[in-house]
Amino acid sequence: MSEQNNKSKKDNVLEFDRGAHAAAEPAVPDLSAPELPPAEASAAAADQIARWQAEKDELMQSMVRRQADFENYRKRVERERQDDSLRGAGRVLESMIPVLDAFGRALKAHDDPAYEEYRKGLEMIYRQLWDTLAKQGLERIAAEGKQFDPNFHQAVERVETDEHPDGAIVEVLQDGYLFNGRVLRPSIVRVAVHTDVHPEGAGGHKSAAHRRAN
Residue bearing the bigger pLDDT, 87 or 205: 87
CA 54 to chain centre: 36
- CB-based contact 187:154 (threshold 8 Å): yes
- CB-based contact 174:143 (threshold 8 Å): no
Of the candidates 177, 178, 147, 189, the one whose C-alpha atom is nearest the C-alpha of residue 165 is 147
Residue bearing the bigger pLDDT, 59 or 206: 59
Instruction: Check residue 201 and give left, alpha or beta (phi > 0: left; psi -120 to 50: alpha).
Output: left
- Give residue 43's pLDDT: 77
Q: Flag the least confident range among 75-84, 144-153, 193-202.
A: 193-202
Residue 201 has pLDDT above 60, yes or no: no
Can you tell me the distance from the alpha carbon of 190 to that of 172, in angstroms, rounded to the nearest whole number?
7
Can you tell me the distance from the alpha carbon of 129 to that of 148, in angstroms, rounded to the nearest whole number?
28
Residue bearing the bigger pLDDT, 177 or 208: 177
Percent of the chain predicted with pLDDT > 90: 36
Percent of the chain predicted with pLDDT > 70: 73
- CB-based contact 170:156 (threshold 8 Å): no
Residue 21 has pLDDT above 80, yes or no: no
How far is CA 7 from each of CA 4, 11, 21, rounded to the nearest angstrom?
A: 5, 6, 22
Residue bearing the bigger pLDDT, 98 or 203: 98
Mean pLDDT of the chain: 79
- Give residue 48's pLDDT: 84
Identify the band that residue 175 occupies on the pLDDT scale cut at 50, 70 and 90.
very high
Q: What is the pLDDT of residues 83-116, one digit of tens each?
A: 888 889 999 999 999 999 998 888 877 677 777 8
Residue bearing the bigger pLDDT, 112 or 158: 158
How far is CA 32 from each of CA 35, 37, 40, rounded to the nearest angstrom?
A: 9, 15, 18
Can you tell me the distance from the alpha carbon of 71 to that of 79, in angstroms, rounded to the nearest whole number?
12
Q: What is the pLDDT of residues 41-61, one digit of tens each?
A: 777 788 888 889 888 888 999
Residue 135 has pLDDT above 90, yes or no: yes
